[in-house]
Amino acid sequence: MDEMKYSMAEEIKVFRSWSSPFALRIIWALKLKGVEFDTIYEDLTNKSPLLLQYNPIHKKVPVLVHNGKVICESLVILEYIDETWKQNPLLPEDPHQKANARFWAKFGDDKVMQSIGGGVLLKEGKEQEEGFAASMEDLKYLEEEIRGKKFFGGETIGLADIALGWLAHYLDIFEEIVGLKLIDQEKFPSLAAWKQEFTNAPIIRENWPDRDKLVTKFAAMREANLGKGTPK
């Protein structure tokens, strides 16, 4: 209760868009910590002067503003949140385990998201086949890492789970749009179980963006990238 009162006395704002999986990470982390905050939704086709002021380099969400201090980039924000509010830690104390969590969070952004989003969702034909093969290879590494564990963070949701959490919702949408299956029970049983376990956590489940709207958005993005339409 004292922690909640303390957070209520602070200025905590999150600039996000309704659909960004990167911004969703910050929502999950703050809610897991029990920290109250204000949400500012950005129209990324018409970014506000405030967003451009706070993040002039990348000009994108998420942005966290804490008592006038500005923090950008989702993985950086997650670490700031974990160091600022100690309850329900996202990173372990052990230096090696901490480094390992950071590695898999970065692997998710640099490899998994690129191979699935850039190589499968936004491609077709031979390029998509190559993207699919790369995605399956990346997912094998995640399957090996999560095997025998409830979460990447052990028994509780941690940094790597939050960073990879988009797979538990957005991946099904991408699969529906392109008509391909990447994570199934037979090939990736541990990863499939993790997806379900992660989604079942109330704070995660209650904060997913509307599925139908996401299908419409990413289908339009795919069409536009393939030169067949205009993104919405």
Q: Within this chain, do residues 61 and 128 fall inside the same structural domain, yes or no?
A: no
pLDDT at 34: 97
Q: Within this chain, do residues 110 and 209 fall inside the same structural domain, yes or no?
A: yes
Q: Within this chain, do residues 67 and 116 fall inside the same structural domain, yes or no?
A: no
Domain CATH for 55: 3.40.30.10
Q: Within this chain, do residues 117 and 204 fall inside the same structural domain, yes or no?
A: yes
Q: Within this chain, do residues 41 and 140 fall inside the same structural domain, yes or no?
A: no
The predicted-structure confidence for 185-199, as pLDDT tens digits, reads as follows 999 999 999 999 999
The predicted-structure confidence for 92-120, as pLDDT tens digits, reads as follows 999 999 999 999 999 999 999 999 999 99
Print the domain residue range for 174. Answer: 95-226
Pairing state between β 38-41 and 12-16: parallel
pLDDT at 228: 74
pLDDT at 8: 54
pLDDT at 2: 42
The predicted-structure confidence for 40-86, as pLDDT tens digits, reads as follows 999 999 999 999 999 999 999 999 999 999 999 999 999 999 999 99
5, pLDDT greater than 90? no
The predicted-structure confidence for 135-186, as pLDDT tens digits, reads as follows 999 999 999 999 999 999 999 999 999 999 999 999 999 999 999 999 999 9
229, pLDDT greater than 90? no
Strand partners, 16: 41
Helices (H) and strands (E) in the chain, counts: 12, 4
Counted domains in the chain:
2
Do the domain assignments include residue 1? no
- Cα 91 to chain center, whole Å? 16
Do the domain assignments include residue 45? yes
Q: Within this chain, do residues 39 and 144 fall inside the same structural domain, yes or no?
A: no
How many CA atoms within 13 Å lie on the side-chain side of 72? 11
Q: Within this chain, do residues 123 and 220 fall inside the same structural domain, yes or no?
A: yes
Domain boundary among 84, 108, 130: 84
Q: Within this chain, do residues 75 and 100 fall inside the same structural domain, yes or no?
A: no
Q: Within this chain, do residues 138 and 161 fall inside the same structural domain, yes or no?
A: yes
Q: Within this chain, do residues 78 and 103 fall inside the same structural domain, yes or no?
A: no
Q: Within this chain, do residues 168 and 104 fall inside the same structural domain, yes or no?
A: yes
Q: Within this chain, do residues 197 and 114 fall inside the same structural domain, yes or no?
A: yes
Where does the pLDDT of residue 231 fall: very low under 50, low under 70, confident under 90, or very high at 90 and above? Answer: low
Do the domain assignments include residue 77? yes
230, pLDDT greater than 80? no
Type of residue at 141: Y
Rounded to two decimals, what is the model's pTM? 0.93
Q: Using alpha carbons, select from 85, 75, 70 the residue that is nearest to residue 40.
A: 70
Domain CATH for 157: 1.20.1050.10
